[in-house]
Structure 1
Amino acid sequence: MVTATPAQADTPPLFEAAWVCPGTHISRMGTDAPGKRELPPELFARARVFCDLPGQARRMGESRHAPQGTVLTALGAVLTGRSPGRDGDGDITVFDSSGFGLQDLCLGLALLKKMDITL
């Protein structure tokens, strides 16, 4: 599931936490500034949360609505083998994408290279 909306924190979440089945992965990117919220906070008790940068996710991502003890795992740590990713098929996982400039630059350069465009 992907959420990418301008939903606000003063409105109900997009769905109920109980609706999320084991094995579901949610990539969310709409909550990238204060005052926004897409997910039900109760979902964090059932999910493993991955993010771009844990400090940034706590400050401006969906994870600022998570309970204080929620573990935020940097995606880079999973990709380099320093932290585990999904433990089993039944894991509910959330990717809290608040983004950062280097990511955008690398993607843009990779697309230019693939399209054989030089600057």
Structure 2
Amino acid sequence: MFQCKLCPNKGTDRQIRGVGARMAAYRVCSSCDFWLTCLGYMMLGDQDPDGRRALRIDGRHYLTWTDEQGFPPEIGYAGAEVCRYVLLDDPTGAVRVSHRIWLMGTIPDAFRDRMPDNAVFAPAA
């Protein structure tokens, strides 16, 4: 056990979803490791090569899922309803649509300054 260098939690090198060695190397707990991964999405342009897009709306982190990818993980799955959103940095204000969205969680205060909102939900047409 060790003190996480980013929050008051304790960290461990125990394998949690295959990342124990990484948590020990970076001296972070599993929660901070998860949010660092989400921060990585932002640093890579908020989009995977496979079409998923990271959205940060009202301090919550979401990941869109394409129809080809099937359903997102059951935990956090927000439903198959149409999700309409606008990217804040899109000068055209185009409304984008996803049929599957995964709520990854509320961004912790320790990460909020580094992970500002990048989108807003758009009202139904």
TM-score with structure 1 setting the length: 0.23
Of structures 1 and 2, the one scoring higher in RCO (CA 8 A, sep 6+) is 1
TM-score, structure 2 as length reference? 0.23
